[in-house]
């Protein structure tokens, strides 16, 4: 009679998992896995403090090995026995295969060949370094731009990110043209031309220099907006020698006089503080003249008030019903966008602007989207049901579902970020009557779901948060049908 095998899983108190196969019934007793990584965990926590689970039994050896291999692969960084994964069944890591280099732009300047590409020799968790490749006299050098992204994202690069990369590429090209002309060209000089480039000696220049070190498009746009605000208040850009606590305080007061919210002012001050810190690191600003408060007794310095706790940014279901009834009575489209965000798990305004009707939405009442805010880190799809409340919003606003069309067409213009800022201002102006802002949609959804007793993992998934721990590898996600009853109770 052929020997039968069991597949077992062992979960440790520090959320590590060990997958094993055994033909003996002693797999659950101490000492069975002697010599494995599990033995070290047993010595640390005690054998009886480890959860021992029988996954499958009465299998052939081949069946058991196949199941074990799949479970080990799924366990990822929390797995204890990846080293035991046989070379025959070990999947080929993507990092072992070099991505083919492509160039977004290329030129020949004074005998120097340049191309904007990525360095496929090195891969980090953020992707490959984006570089300007400089080639002359059969020798080459890579000039780092400060960006890193996957090969796919690089090929699809657009918008503000592409504009910033093009600006850096042009700086390298212009340096090469000048250096060849005056005879000072060297590959090392090319490698350092962006690194040593200094901002014009104004606060606007420092903000732009800090912006060029960033990789997230939305954050870069926010820094650019702060630089524009500074230039509006100080037409000369505020020279570095004039950057003091008094001038920064005057800038903050001017923003308040223009009707900017406390949040907007604090964001601008945070950008200025980060830009000055970076300038100090680069040796462009004297640390002795630092205008922001470091210690409690520095009363003559600028201080940033602490941000409000996120737990405080929510309202109860009665307040939500009040806003809902106001929307139904007035048909105010900005209140409609706020309620749509609330009913979709707190969808961000940027994602609402991107949202399109799909066949699945129209036929199965399912919305799927990827958060723009976290797309540079992960491309996980978020799924939420189309509740009766969402259908009511579309009916009141006169929106007919048409596959492939944007849900809220009035939010679509050629300038995405300008439109987003205008829409955000309009929404918050209407919500100011209720003492809240757009962010309350997301926080209220999470809080109300929790108070209703909804499964926490379902709420996390609807908001685009990743489940943590071992459970995330083994628990199946909630289906839209399972989520729908909870979403119907949101009001």
Start-end of CATH 3.40.1440 domains in the chain: 5-91
Q: How many Å apart are CA 227 and CA 417, to the nearest integer?
A: 15
Interhelix angle 217-233/159-182, rounded to 10 degrees, is 70
CATH 1.10.443 positions along the chain are 311-488
Which pLDDT does position 190 carry in this prediction?
85
Residue range(s) in the chain whose domain bears CATH number 1.10.150: 203-307
Q: Which CATH architecture has domain 311-488?
A: Orthogonal Bundle (1.10)
Please determine, for residue 408, whether its predicted confidence score (pLDDT) is greater than 80.
yes
* Statement: residue 311 has pLDDT above 70: no
| Distance of alpha carbon 440 from alpha carbon 125, whole angstroms | 33
CATH class for the region spanning 5-91: alpha beta
132 bridge partner residues: 116, 143
- pLDDT given at position 404: 92
Confidence (pLDDT) at 397: 94
Task: Give the CATH fold of the 203-307 domain.
Answer: DNA polymerase; domain 1 (1.10.150)
Q: By the 8 A CB rule, do 375 and 215 touch?
A: no
Asked if residues 458 and 486 have their Cβ atoms less than 8 Å apart, the reply is yes
Return the closest-CA partner of residue 240 out of 204, 294, 196. 204
For residues 478-482, give the mean pLDDT: 86
Kindly report, residue by residue over 127-161, the tens digit of the pLDDT: 888 899 999 888 888 988 888 888 888 888 877 78
Query: What is the DSSP code string of 60-115?
Result: -HHHHHHHHHHHHHHHGGGBS-GGGS-TTTPPPPGGGSPPPP--SEEEEETTEEEE
- 139-149 and 366-369: which strand pairing? unpaired
Query: To the nearest whole number, what is the mean pLDDT of the chain?
Result: 83
In this prediction, residue 95 carries a pLDDT of: 44
- Helix, coil or strand: residue 374: coil
Q: What global pTM score does this model have?
A: 0.48
What's the pLDDT band for 100 if we cut at 50, 70, 90?
low
Q: CB of 372 within 8 A of CB of 348?
A: yes
């Amino acid at each position: 009679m052929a020997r039968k095998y069991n597949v077992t899983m062992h979960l440790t108190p520090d959320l590590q998992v060990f997958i094993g196969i055994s033909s003996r019934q002693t797999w659950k007793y101490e000492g069975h896995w002697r010599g494995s990584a599990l033995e070290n965990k047993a010595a640390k926590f005690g054998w009886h403090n480890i959860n021992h689970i029988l996954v499958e039994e009465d299998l052939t050896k081949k069946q058991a090995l196949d199941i074990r291999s799949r479970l080990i692969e799924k366990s990822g960084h929390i797995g204890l026995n990846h080293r035991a994964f046989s070379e025959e069944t070990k999947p080929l890591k993507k990092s072992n295969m070099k991505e083919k280099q492509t160039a977004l732009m290329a030129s020949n300047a004074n005998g120097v060949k340049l191309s904007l590409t990525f360095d496929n020799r090195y891969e980090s968790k953020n992707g490959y370094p984006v570089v300007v490749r400089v080639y002359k006299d059969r020798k080459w050098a890579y000039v780092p731009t400060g960006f890193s992204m996957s090969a796919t994202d690089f090929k699809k690069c657009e918008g503000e990110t592409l504009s910033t990369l093009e600006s850096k590429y042009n700086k390298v090209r212009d340096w090469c043209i000048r250096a060849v002309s005056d005879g000072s060209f060297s590959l090392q000089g090319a490698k350092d031309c962006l690194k040593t480039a200094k901002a014009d000696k104004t606060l606007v220049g420092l903000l732009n220099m800090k912006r060029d070190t960033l990789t997230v498009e939305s954050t870069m746009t926010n820094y650019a907006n702060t630089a524009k605000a500074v230039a509006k208040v100080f037409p000369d850009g505020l020279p570095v020698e004039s950057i003091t606590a008094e001038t920064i305080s005057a800038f903050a007061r001017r923003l308040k006089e223009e009707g900017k919210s406390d949040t907007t002012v604090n964001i601008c001050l945070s950008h200025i503080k980060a830009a000055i810190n970076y300038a100090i690191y680069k040796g462009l600003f004297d640390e002795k003249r630092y205008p922001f408060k470091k210690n409690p007794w520095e009363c003559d310095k600028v201080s940033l008030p602490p941000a409000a706790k996120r737990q405080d940014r929510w309202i109860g279901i009665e307040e939500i019903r009040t806003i809902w009834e106001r929307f139904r009575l007035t048909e105010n489209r900005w209140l409609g966008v706020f309620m749509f965000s609330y009913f979709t798990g707190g969808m961000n305004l940027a994602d609402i602007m991107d949202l399109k009707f799909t066949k699945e939405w129209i036929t199965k009442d399912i919305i799927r989207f990827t958060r723009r805010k976290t797309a540079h880190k992960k491309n996980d799809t978020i799924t939420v049901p189309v509740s009766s409340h969402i259908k009511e919003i579309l009916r009141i606003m006169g929106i007919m579902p048409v596959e492939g069309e944007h849900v809220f067409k009035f939010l679509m213009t050629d300038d995405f970020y300008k439109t987003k800022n205008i829409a955000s201002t309009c929404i918050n102006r209407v919500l100011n009557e209720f003492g809240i802002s757009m962010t309350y949609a997301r926080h209220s959804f999470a809080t109300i779901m929790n108070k209703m007793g909804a499964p926490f993992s379902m709420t996390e998934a609807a908001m685009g948060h990743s489940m943590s721990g071992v459970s995330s590898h083994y628990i199946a996600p909630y289906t839209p049908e399972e989520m729908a009853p909870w979403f119907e109770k949101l009001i």
